[in-house]
Amino acid sequence: METLVETELCFPQLLNSSCVKTVRPHFETMMTYILLFSISLLTAFLNLLVIISISHFKQLKTPTNLLILSLAVSDFFVGTLMLFQIMLIEGCWYIGDLMCTLYQYLDYIISSVSVGNMVLICIDRYVAICDPMHYSIKVTQKRIQVCICLCWSCSVIFQSLILKDVLEQPGRYNSCFGECVFVINYIAGIADLIFSFILPIAVILVLYMRVFVVAVSQARAMRSHITTVTVQGSVKVTAKKSEIKAARTLGVVVVVFLLCLCPYYCVALTGQDNFMNASSAASVLCLYSFHSCLNPVIYASFYPWFRKSIKNILTLKILQPDSCEANIL
């Protein structure tokens, strides 16, 4: 009798079929709520700034910025979907099996699109630095738009196949009312691991290492052609700073990508046919989604136009007539 009093159910009116809430200390629960909510708002806000900037100012509508815009749109939706993860803190899902399936489906698609956009940005930067003479010919707005459409379309098709069983019968793996199970099928998990993690990270590492090598070799070439002692001293400093900045930027991109995505795919790989419980899923997916919060900082904040556009947005200058023609670059 004492056990029944201490047990908290997701749906108390369904004594025999309701899931049991995850009991945690009140302080821990509140801090988790605040953390998830803060990350969600920050992710949505930062990516919304990028979306408004590129969409509003005509100078920013370049092929490269279209990729950043696509990335920001996918990451914005990741931030909004994180609000649903708050319900999983206590292990209860209150809005039905259909919404649970829809949430999982959209979350997988948007996360996949975000990673795909990162790869496209890497390819764009690789061509820009390693083959600058042919960049304007190889990278056009039309080609970028086609690549973005393919990225979104392929993500929808791929994740539809990964979650085929869940989409056909929502809630089929739930053992009680109030459960929103994240199914990790071994074959589907391996496919997702390869195409959503191993291949993208391999492409990113190879391209960024190539870009880094080219940047360092160019800096050394500049240094070797210096003949004037005075100029040589200043260029050495500049070249050295260039090498350090390139190494730091590339290191941050790769390390953050690995730290945020590795835990999820490690669970997906080792879990095989087992299920992740709700609280574990919430924690892992939170870290996975947090990368979308860092994307605007890593990719957009390094551009001077981003700081200028933020200033215009926050000061409401974008509401003035012809503000879209403003000189942002």
pLDDT class of 65 with cuts at 50, 70, 90: confident
Q: What is the pLDDT of residue 61?
A: 85
What string of DSSP letters covers 203-228? HHHHHHHHHHHHHHHHHHHHHHT---
Q: What is the pLDDT of residue 327?
A: 77
Homologous superfamily of 2-325: Rhodopsin 7-helix transmembrane proteins (1.20.1070.10)
- State the amino acid at position 267 in one-letter form: V
Of 71-75, 155-159, 285-289, which range is least confident?
Answer: 285-289
For a pLDDT cut of 70, what percent of the chain falls above it? 76
Q: What is the pLDDT of residue 305?
A: 78
pLDDT class of 153 with cuts at 50, 70, 90: very high
More confident: 6 or 142: 142
Q: What is the pLDDT of residue 151?
A: 94
pLDDT at residue 227 tops 60? no
Count the helices and strands in the chain (H runs, E runs): 12, 2
- Taking only Cα atoms into account, the Rg of the chain, rounded to an integer number of angstroms, comes to 23
Q: What is the pLDDT of residue 73?
A: 92
More confident: 32 or 310: 310
Q: Dihedral of the CA atoms 284, 286, 289, 291 (nearest 10)? A: -90
What is the chain's mean pLDDT, rounded?
A: 76
Q: What is the pLDDT of residues 42-62, one digit of tens each?
A: 889 989 988 998 888 888 888
What string of DSSP letters covers 66-101? HHHHHHHHHHHHHHHHHHHHGGGTTT---SHHHHHH
CA atoms 95, 99, 100, 103: torsion sign: negative
Average pLDDT over residues 292-316: 79
Q: What is the pLDDT of residues 154-167, one digit of tens each?
A: 999 998 888 887 78
Of 64-73, 111-120, 180-189, 280-289, which range is least confident?
Answer: 280-289
Q: What is the pLDDT of residue 155?
A: 92
Contact 156, 109 (CB under 8 A): yes
Contact 197, 111 (CB under 8 A): no
Q: What is the pLDDT of residues 154-209, one digit of tens each?
A: 999 998 888 887 787 777 777 777 777 766 677 877 888 788 888 888 888 888 78
Q: What is the pLDDT of residue 2?
A: 41
Q: What is the pTM of this model?
A: 0.80
pLDDT at residue 113 tops 50? yes
Q: What is the pLDDT of residues 74-104, one digit of tens each?
A: 989 988 888 887 777 777 888 888 888 888 8
Q: What is the pLDDT of residue 149?
A: 94
pLDDT at residue 237 tops 50? no
What are the strands, taking DSSP E only, across the chain?
Answer: 182-183, 275-276
Q: What is the pLDDT of residue 70?
A: 92
pLDDT class of 296 with cuts at 50, 70, 90: confident
pLDDT at residue 218 tops 80? no
